[in-house]
Amino acid sequence: MVMAAPISTDSVRARLATVHDPEIPTVSIVDLGLVHDIRVEDGRIAVELLPTFVACPALEVIRATISDALAVLGPPVDVSFTFAVPWTTDRLTETGRAGLRRAGIAPPAEPADVRCPFCGSATVAMDSVFGPALCRSLFYCRDCRQPFEAFKPI
Amino acid sequence: MTTEYEAIAMDFEGAGDGRERALAVLLLSMADDEFVIGFSDSEWTGIGPILEEDVAISSLAQDELGHAQALYTRLTEVVDDGRAADAWAYDRPPEGYTHARLLDHPRGDWAATIVRRYLYDTADAARLEALAGSSDRALAELVAKIRREERYHLLHVETWIERLADAGGESRDRLLAAVNAMGPDAGTVLAPLAGERALVRHRIVGEPFAAMEARWRDTVATTFRRLGLPELPPTSSPGRSRTDHSDAFRALHAEFTMVRGSELGATW
């Protein structure tokens, strides 16, 4: 009888790195800092995530995408959300910040430190703290004359 | 004689001892507050005074509904009677809701919405501060997360109340009318809950509601003095702060239960 190799948390994490925020296709949920805990025990895979905002409407989509991404590993998957530690923008990795810029979203910074994701200019103005998603504010670049979004520091 | 509100509090059959019943009353009051102000403010979506504010108030409303969902979910763990979070949110008659009377006012004009948000958000901030070290760990963790979001809410509403007060003319007149209409109900958010003694004894809240209210009144008084606004009056009928809901709330209730009522058990 051939036993399947045990599944490591690293292999789960590698699969999770292929799951992207549904609204930000250039950033994986790992680089976004959403993954709080991965456990492989009793023939099941448990993934705990930290919501960026309590009301984030993308959570159920992310849950379903994770289940699909981990299905190839075999064991049943439990995805849950926790507030055990608050998600903060410090959890974004450098890769995640670069991914945000590629999507036209300035990485989180104090308003004075926000740079245009398109041309890098510092001559930008905040139009509105609140933007098209809970996690983002609206800015305008006076140099390349593009409106853009910036991730809210939280 | 028990008040209607105490009768609701007694109704938590799924919650065992005094600690859990008191926690359930607290969670339900907070969840109902967030749900009602969230739903009420969401009525601005599409008709906000300017586009940026339409987006802002919609985000604020969405945040509050998310907080309500998280609080109702915690409630379902404490009151283990088979009811899901959505059942708590949508399946009660209007008189079963325990939100503060401040939130019974209709959204009104923009000034009324701003005044209500200001009074509620500052009172809620005092309440969240008292819950930061709660012995209910799940609640303390949720509160830590919520407070990070509420910083943006306070920043937004403080900017607006200053803008309306400093503008003079019609802006200031409307602001004053809203303060006068809602002032006597402002303190209802922090009126003592049934089971307050158990909440304090079990360290679910860090201080009695009277202490939260005193801190909150200081905050509001400082801002109002600076803006030349009248002092807030004492709370009217504090013992019935979360009962006797208004016709405006019954109309809102009819609105937010309409879809769920049209197809029982439907999911999105």
pLDDT for B2 equals: 42
Q: Each residue of A106-146: pLDDT tens digit?
A: 999 998 999 999 999 999 999 889 988 889 999 999 999 99
CB pair distance less than 8 Å for A83 and B59? no
Q: Which two tokens stand for residue A5?
A: 């190799």
Q: Which two tokens stand for residue A79?
A: 């995805």
Instruction: Please say if the pLDDT value at position B1 is more than 80.
Output: no
CB-closest option in A83, A131, A134 to B141:
A83
> Is B264 or A16 the better-scoring residue by pLDDT?
A16
- Residue that is written with structure tokens 């969670």 in the block: B27
Stretches in chain A below the pLDDT threshold 50: none
* Distance of residue B40 Cα from the nearest chain A Cα, in angstroms: 16
* Distance of residue B133 Cα from the nearest chain A Cα, in angstroms: 14
Q: Each residue of B196-232: pLDDT tens digit?
A: 999 999 999 999 999 999 999 999 999 999 999 999 9
List the single best residue of A50, A61, A130 to mutate versus B (max B Cβ within 10 A): A130
Q: What is the domain partition of chain A in residue ranges?
A: 9-90, 104-151
Q: What average pLDDT does this structure show over B22-49?
A: 97
User: Domain B4-262 adopts which CATH fold?
Assistant: Ferritin (1.20.1260)
CB pairs under 8 A between A and B: 64
CB-closest option in A55, A86, A129 to B148:
A86
Query: Is A139 at the interface with chain B, CB within 8 A?
Result: no
CB pair distance less than 8 Å for A129 and B144? no
CB pair distance less than 8 Å for B55 and A130? yes
Instruction: Please say if the pLDDT value at position B121 is more than 50.
Output: yes
Whole-structure pTM value: 0.91
- Residue that is written with structure tokens 């990795």 in the block: A93
CB pair distance less than 8 Å for B148 and A154? yes
pLDDT for A132 equals: 85
Taking the CB of residue A115, how many other CB atoms lie within 10 A of it?
19
The model's confidence at residue B18, banded by pLDDT at 50, 70 and 90, is confident
Q: In B, which residues are within 8 Å of A152 by CB distance?
A: 152
Q: What average pLDDT does this structure show over B23-33?
A: 97
List the single best residue of A49, A50, A54 to mutate versus B (max B Cβ within 10 A): A54
pLDDT for A3 equals: 58
Please give the span between the terminal C-alpha atoms of chain A, in angstroms, as a whole number. Answer: 52
Instruction: Please say if the pLDDT value at position B17 is more than 80.
Output: no
pLDDT for B15 equals: 57
Instruction: Please say if the pLDDT value at position B4 is more than 50.
Output: no
pLDDT for A150 equals: 96
Chain A residue closest in CA terms to B70:
A54
Query: Is A136 at the interface with chain B, CB within 8 A?
Result: no
Q: Each residue of B44-93: pLDDT tens digit?
A: 999 999 999 999 999 999 999 999 999 999 999 999 899 999 999 999 99
* Distance of residue B49 Cα from the nearest chain A Cα, in angstroms: 14
Name the helix (H) or strand (E) containing A141. strand A136-141
Residues B123 and B100: their CA atoms lie apart, in Å, by: 11
User: Domain A9-90 adopts which CATH fold?
Assistant: GMP Synthetase; Chain A, domain 3 (3.30.300)
CB pair distance less than 8 Å for B145 and A83? yes
pLDDT for A92 equals: 96
Q: E-assigned strands of chain B?
A: none
pLDDT for B10 equals: 52
* B63 in Cβ contact with A130 (< 8 Å): no
Chain B residue closest in CA terms to A51:
B145
CB-closest option in B55, B58, B149 to A54:
B149
The model's confidence at residue B12, banded by pLDDT at 50, 70 and 90, is low
The model's confidence at residue B158, banded by pLDDT at 50, 70 and 90, is very high
Partner residues linked to A140 by β-bridges: A125, A147
CB-closest option in A57, A129, A154 to B155:
A129
Query: Is A130 at the interface with chain B, CB within 8 A?
Result: yes
Q: In A, which residues are within 8 Å of B44 by CB distance?
A: none
Q: Each residue of B79-120: pLDDT tens digit?
A: 989 999 999 999 999 999 999 999 999 999 999 999 999 999
Q: Can you list the pairs that A33-36 forms with residues at least 24 positions away whose Cβ atoms lie under 8 Å?
A: A33/A87, A33/A90, A33/A91, A33/A92, A33/A93, A33/A96, A34/A62, A34/A87, A34/A91, A36/A82, A36/A84, A36/A85
Instruction: Please say if the pLDDT value at position B248 is more than 70.
Output: yes
CB-closest option in B52, B63, B148 to A127:
B52
Q: Each residue of B168-200: pLDDT tens digit?
A: 999 999 999 999 999 999 999 999 998 899 999
CB pair distance less than 8 Å for B67 and A55? yes
> Is B7 or B268 the better-scoring residue by pLDDT?
B268
pLDDT for A6 equals: 78
Q: In B, which residues are within 8 Å of A153 by CB distance?
A: none
pLDDT for B139 equals: 98
Taking the CB of residue A75, how many other CB atoms lie within 10 A of it?
17
pLDDT for B3 equals: 46
